[in-house]
């Protein structure tokens, strides 16, 4: 709480001033802390506490931490290319964050192996049913089986692509950073390893786009028929509330999938650029174009994190 320069120092007291004390209070330039001021203080305290709790939940996951670092990395890159006072320091920070993100992925290969081994990345597309006729039921069953197989295949492709991505990226990092003074041939080999890792990453992106498209175009499952058949005696209001809740959940799920699709679209051109064999010597895209796409994707990824950490 502050006052204007012409005002005398404030004496904060916690008691309520009565009519008899009003004159004395004014002469001593005392100001009473009203309940409204206290409530405003505690409201700000609670808000800051909620922000800190949410931030703690975000950095508690390696994936979310990487998104924060990625946003910092590409924001600093743009700053370093503006020709400002601390451009060189910003460029050094960009490189440090970039290599730190490489190091953070050194432990991720077993996660891809686990997903490949246990089909952990299989997505359940689901299938809606709006009719009870036998023909429609048979068609829906066939469609459900097809979607289950497709989800399993796409999940395995995703896992297999990351199974290749991580070790090739680790090999590139080792050639670049672990060797004390890499020769020209070793440097070139590192760039080829990096290209192969980005080819695997490109396969992952394309597969994830297909998976997202199927998820968005497949009708969401509905419990309306089950409610009609099994809960005829239930209160209509309760049924409507359940349907409204289900609709909100499905809408939220679709929105999150749309965000993932947008991220993959922003990834496409940079991934293809880095997957070319001569990406370092004869770049397909300008560095400003590549980093613009990556910076935009980083911003979208932060938005996705805000949806995931509620």
For residue range 82-118, what is the model confidence (pLDDT) as tens digits?
877 778 888 999 999 999 999 999 999 999 999 999 9
Distance CA 58, CA 44 (A): 21
Lowest mean pLDDT among 40-54, 111-125, 160-174, 196-210: 40-54
For residue range 135-167, what is the model confidence (pLDDT) as tens digits?
556 666 778 888 889 999 999 999 999 999 999
DSSP string, 87-118: HHHHHHHHHHHHHHHHHHTTT-HHHHHHHHHH
Q: What is the predicted pLDDT for the residue at 266?
A: 97
Angle, to 10 degrees, between the axis of helix 184-217 and the axis of helix 134-173? 160
Its sign, for the CA torsion 241, 242, 243, 246, is: positive
Cα atoms in the Cβ-side hemisphere of radius 13 Å centred on 153: 8
pTM value is 0.77
* Contact criterion met (CB below 8 Å) for 117 and 162: no
* Contact criterion met (CB below 8 Å) for 266 and 293: yes
**pLDDT classification of 191: cutoffs 50, 70, 90:** very high
- How many percent of the chain have pLDDT more than 70? 77
**pLDDT classification of 177: cutoffs 50, 70, 90:** confident
SS3 22: helix
Distance CA 78, CA 82 (A): 7
């Amino acid at each position: 709480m502050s006052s204007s320069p012409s005002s005398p120092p404030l004496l904060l007291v916690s008691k309520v001033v009565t009519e008899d004390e009003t004159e004395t209070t004014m002469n001593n330039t005392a100001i009473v802390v009203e309940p409204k001021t206290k409530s405003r203080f505690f409201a700000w305290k609670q808000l800051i506490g909620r922000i800190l709790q949410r931030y703690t939940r975000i950095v508690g996951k390696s994936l979310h931490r990487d998104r924060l670092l990625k946003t910092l990395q590409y924001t600093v890159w743009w700053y370093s290319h503006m020709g400002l006072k601390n451009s060189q320091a910003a460029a050094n920070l960009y490189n440090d964050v970039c290599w730190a993100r490489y190091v953070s992925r050194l432990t991720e290969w077993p996660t891809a192996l686990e997903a490949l081994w246990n089909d952990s990345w299989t997505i359940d597309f689901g299938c809606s049913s709006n009719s009870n006729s036998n023909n429609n039921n048979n068609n829906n069953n066939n469609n459900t089986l097809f979607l289950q197989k497709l989800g399993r295949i796409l999940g395995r492709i995703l896992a297999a692509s990351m199974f290749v991505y991580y070790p090739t990226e680790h090999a590139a990092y080792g050639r670049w950073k672990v060797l004390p003074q890499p020769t020209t041939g070793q440097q070139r080999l590192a760039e080829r390893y990096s290209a192969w890792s980005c080819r695997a990453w490109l396969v992952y992106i394309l597969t994830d786009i297909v998976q997202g498209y199927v998820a968005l175009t497949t009708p969401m499952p509905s419990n309306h028929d089950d409610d009609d058949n099994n809960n005829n005696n239930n209160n209509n209001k309760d049924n409507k509330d359940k349907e409204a809740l289900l609709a909100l959940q499905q809408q939220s799920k679709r929105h999150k999938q749309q965000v993932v699709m947008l991220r993959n679209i922003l990834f496409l051109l940079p991934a293809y650029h880095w997957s070319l064999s001569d990406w370092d010597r004869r770049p397909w895209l300008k560095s400003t174009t590549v980093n613009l796409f990556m910076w935009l994707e980083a911003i979208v990824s932060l938005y996705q994190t805000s949806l995931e950490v509620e």
